[in-house]
Amino acid sequence: MPRALRAAAATVTVAFATAVAAACDSTTGPPASRMAVLSDTGVSDTILTLLTAPLVVRVLDEIGLPASDVPVRFEALHMPYPASSYGAFLYSAPDGPQIGTIIVDTTDWNGEARVWVRLGIHAGQVRIAADAPTLALSTTATYTVLPGAATRVQVVPADSAAYQGRGYTLRSAIVDRYGNARPDPVTYVATAPTTVDVDESGRIAAHAIGRGAIIAAAGTFRDTAWVSVVPDGMIAAHKVRISGDDATAVVFMGLDGSGYEERPVPYWAQPRPDWARTGDAVVMEDGGNEALAKPNQLVVIPRGEGPTIPVGRAVQAGHQFYPQYSPDGSWIYFSASPPIVGGVIPDGYGQLELWRVRPDGSSAERLYPGGTYHNNDFRPSVAPNGNRVVFLTNRVCCGGSSLMILDPGSGTVDTLRTAAGLTISGEGVRWSPVDNDLIAYVSTRIWLTSADGTTQRAVTPQGKAYGPEIDWSPDGRWIIARSGNDHLLHLIEVSSGLTLPLGFTDRLTAPAWHP
């Protein structure tokens, strides 16, 4: 062998022996990491960017030399938020098809495996894990996804409420097309500053009962936050179940959304709560389970902790509906079907009759005899002086529901008629808490009628529909009802028709105002 070749071979042999000796030296051990990221880590770029440089990892064998032909599994991991979002997408080549969130590459002669990365749509830190399962090695590369170009300004909450003299802080940001917030500054302007004003930080101040808007602006972008400045009050309402993982409940809260409490009820129940005069409990329907085992009955549930108190258990009637306290709290008025005795369904079981019972379950009595099968008397509501009860019935005409008035003392019943002699039809009805001559009822719109039926006035405009469960404020100034248009609870001022939507109540119905 020529001398030059012998010298080169000796150099390689010495270098290899040195590497082996270093790898086997018990004092230094193998290299600290046998799998490492070679490409730049901590790279930042905007959403959906395909990075120009690949993610490269190197794998070493047990003695610290490059390990070739080793499968390396790259996986784009879920982001912490949103939980279902991947932080990136992986490609086998920069111009190749998108493979997905997992790609397997095999190390080359230099122990290197690579993958190309396109950042995802949500801003934040993303991680890509690289694993060599056959060697039980792993490492992680980290990238930062930045928001994209501005597309709009977004303000939260978009619609809420506040009491006079109070307020809350809006959260606003310029966002890209996927809702990622940018650092651009946002300014605020109040459209009705005498009703509700705002400072430069987004803190609103509620001054007078009414409806106002806050305009959030950044560059050419605008968004609006609506604010209802509402009277003081507490409501109970039925929270509607909307999915299999959800729950039906009775909720308690202030009209500004404060003090929120929730009491779960059976998912099929229609509680229709009504406040006790003391304001610490409501009467409601418990939902029952099935006709022959446990009929729908009345119960009283307290706010906060406390046991449910059966009310209708001693009532000799079947299903019980539409409970309403008398103004003095001494009675609970309701509707009930005839009782099932010995498992036998009686004739006329489909009808509803008017009843009342003491809050402790005593002295139950039927107030008005039921009619024939499918004749129903329901939704009783008592005058402030306790002398009369307005209710709905379908026994008068044509299958619809008409207003009737019962005198509980004498048992006499009168059909409420207009000055022209026409019956007054409705789906819901409630006597004013302060006026013995004023009744609110729902016939698509909300109406007022005198107790003798001779005068009527619409409270809400044409084209605005409301559900049948309505209630008055304790002072008789307002009516609360669920809108059939935007599906929110509305406060309607009786004298003016001023309407204050509660933007956070889209799942609430059957509201009852704290007496």
What is the per-residue pLDDT across 379-404, written as a single tens digit (0 to 9) for each?
999 999 999 999 999 887 666 799 99
What is the per-residue pLDDT across 477-511, written as a single tens digit (0 to 9) for each?
999 999 999 999 999 999 999 999 999 999 999 99
The per-residue DSSP string of 435-455 comes to -TTEEEEEESEEEEEETTSS-
What is the per-residue pLDDT across 434-459, written as a single tens digit (0 to 9) for each?
999 999 999 999 999 999 999 999 99
Is residue 177 over pLDDT 80? yes
| pLDDT for the residue numbered 284 | 95
pLDDT tier at 344, thresholds 50, 70, 90: low
Q: What is the dihedral of CA 251, 252, 257, 260, to 10 degrees?
A: -80
Provide mean pLDDT across the span 56-65: 95
pLDDT tier at 97, thresholds 50, 70, 90: confident
Is residue 226 over pLDDT 50? yes
Strands (E), 101-209: 102-106, 112-119, 124-132, 137-146, 152-156, 159-163, 171-175, 181-182, 187-190, 196-198, 204-206
Is residue 347 over pLDDT 70? no
Provide the token pair at 447. 């109406």
Paired residues of 238 in beta bridges: 250, 509
What is the per-residue pLDDT across 285-315, written as a single tens digit (0 to 9) for each?
988 875 556 788 899 998 888 888 888 777 8
206 against 373, higher pLDDT? 206
Provide mean pLDDT across the span 401-413: 93
Instruction: Please enumerate in sequence order all residues whose Cβ is within 8 A of that of 515, keeping only pairs 6 or more positions apart, or say none.
Output: 275, 277, 279, 433, 474
Tell whether omega for the bond before 157 is within 30 degrees of 0, i.e. cis.
yes
| pLDDT for the residue numbered 83 | 62
Is residue 467 over pLDDT 90? yes
Distance (Å, whole) CA 495 – CA 473: 13
* Sole residue written with tokens 């459209």: 191
> 54 and 91 in contact (C-beta within 8 Å)?
no
What is the per-residue pLDDT across 236-287, written as a single tens digit (0 to 9) for each?
999 998 876 778 999 999 999 999 999 988 888 899 999 999 999 999 998 8
Going 341 to 342 to 343 to 344, the CA torsion angle's sign is negative
What is the per-residue pLDDT across 348-360, written as a single tens digit (0 to 9) for each?
566 888 999 999 8
